Chains A and B, each alone.
Chain A
Amino acid sequence: MSAPPAASSPGSDFAIDVTGVTKRFGTKTVVNAIDLRVRRGEIYGFLGPNGSGKTTFIRMLCGLLTPDAGTGTCLGYDVRSQQADIKRHVGYMTQKFSCYDDLSIRENLDFIARLYAVPDRRTAVQQSLERLGLTRRSHQLAGELSGGWKQRLALAACLIHSPQLLLLDEPTAGVDPKARREFWDEIHRLAAEGLTVLITTHYMDEAERCHRLAYLAYGKLLTHGTLEDVLASVRLTTWTVTGPGLLDLAKKIRGLPGIEQVVAFGTTLHVSGRDAAALEASLTSIRDPRHEWKKIRSGLEDVFISLMDAAKDNFA
Chain B
Amino acid sequence: MSASRFTLHRLWAIVLKEFIQMKRDRVTFGMMVGIPLMQLMLFGFAINSDPKHLPTAIRAADQGPFARTLVAALRTSGYFTLTHEAATEAEAHRLLQLGEVQFVINIPEDFSRRLLRGERPTLLIEADATDPSATGPALNAVRAIADHVLDRDLTGPLARLRAKAGPIDLQLHAHYNPENITQYNVVPGLMGVVLTMTMVIITALAITRERERGTMENLLSTPVRPFEVMLGKILPYIVVGYIQVTLILVAAHWVFRVPMMGSLPLLYAVSLLFIAANLAMGITFSTMAKNQLQAVQMAFFFFLPSILLSGFMFPFRGMPEWAQWIGSILPNTHYLRIVRGILLKGNGLAEITPHLWPLLAFLVVAMAIGVKRYRQTLD
Mark A residues whose CB is within 8 Å of B: 59, 62-66, 82-85, 87-88, 90, 92, 94, 96-103, 107, 111-112, 114-117, 141, 157
Q: Which of B7, B13, B17, B377 contacts A66 (CB 8 A)?
A: B377
A97 touches B13 (CB 8 A): no
Contact (Cβ within 8 A) A117 B1: no
Q: Can you list 23 A-B contacts with CB-CB less than 8 angstroms, sorted by A residue number?
A: A59-B378, A62-B221, A64-B217, A64-B220, A64-B221, A64-B378, A65-B379, A66-B377, A82-B1, A83-B377, A85-B1, A92-B221, A96-B217, A98-B213, A98-B214, A99-B215, A100-B21, A100-B213, A101-B213, A102-B24, A102-B25, A103-B17, A115-B10
In Å, the complex CA distance between A59 and B213 comes to: 18
Rounded to whole angstroms, the CA-CA distance of A99 and B217 in the bound complex is 10
Q: Which residue of A lies closest to B221 (CB)?
A: A92
Question: A94 contacts which of B10, B25, B214, B224 (Cβ < 8 Å)?
Answer: B214
Mark out the residues of chain B between 341 and 379 whose CB falls within 8 Å of any chain A CB in the assembled complex.
Answer: 376-379
Looking at the assembled complex, report how far the CB atom of A7 sits from the nearest CB atom of chain B, in whole angstroms: 15
In the bound complex, CA of A211 to CA of B7 (Å): 39
Please tell me if the beta carbons of A99 and B218 are within 8 angstroms of each other in the complex: yes
Q: Given A102-B25, A103-B17, A115 and B224 touching (CB < 8 A)? A: yes
Q: Are A64 and B223 in contact (CB under 8 A)?
A: no
Contacts of B7 in A (CB 8 A): 117
Q: A98-B213, A98-B218 are in contact. List 20 more A-B contacts (CB 8 A).
A: A59-B378, A62-B221, A64-B378, A65-B377, A83-B376, A87-B3, A90-B221, A92-B218, A94-B217, A96-B217, A99-B215, A103-B20, A103-B24, A114-B9, A114-B16, A115-B10, A115-B224, A116-B223, A117-B9, A157-B218
A115-B10, A115-B223 known; A94+B378 contact, CB < 8 A = no
Main SS at interface, chain B: helix
* Interface contact A97-B221, CB-CB below 8 Å: no
Docked pose: A217 CA to B376 CA in angstroms = 28
Say yes or no: is B130 at the interface (Cβ < 8 Å to chain A): no
* Closest chain A residue to B222, Cβ basis: A115
**Shortest distance from the beta carbon of A57 to any chain B beta carbon, whole Å:** 13
> Complex formed: what's the CA distance from A88 to B217 in Å?
15
Q: A114 and B223: CB pair below 8 A?
A: no
- B16 touching A98, Cβ below 8 Å: no
Contact (Cβ within 8 A) B3 A85:
yes
Docked complex Cα distance between A196 and B13 (Å): 28
Residues 90-112 of chain B, each 1 if its beta carbon lies under 8 Å from chain A, else 0: 00000000000000000000000
Minimum CB–CB distance for B209 against chain A, Å: 10
Q: How far is the CA of A102 from the CA of B25 in the complex (A)?
A: 8
Contact with A along B175-218 (1 / 0, CB 8 A): 00000000000000000000000000000000000000111111
Please, how many angstroms separate the alpha-carbon atoms of A116 and B10 in the complex?
A: 8
Contact in complex: B1, A84 (CB < 8 Å)? yes
Contact A114-B3, Cβ < 8 Å, known A64-B377, A65-B379: no
Task: Indicate with 1 or 0, residue by residue over B1-31, a CB within 8 angstroms of chain A CB atoms.
Answer: 1011001011011001100110011000000
Which residues of chain A come closer than 8 Å to B221, judged between CB atoms?
62-64, 87, 90, 92, 94
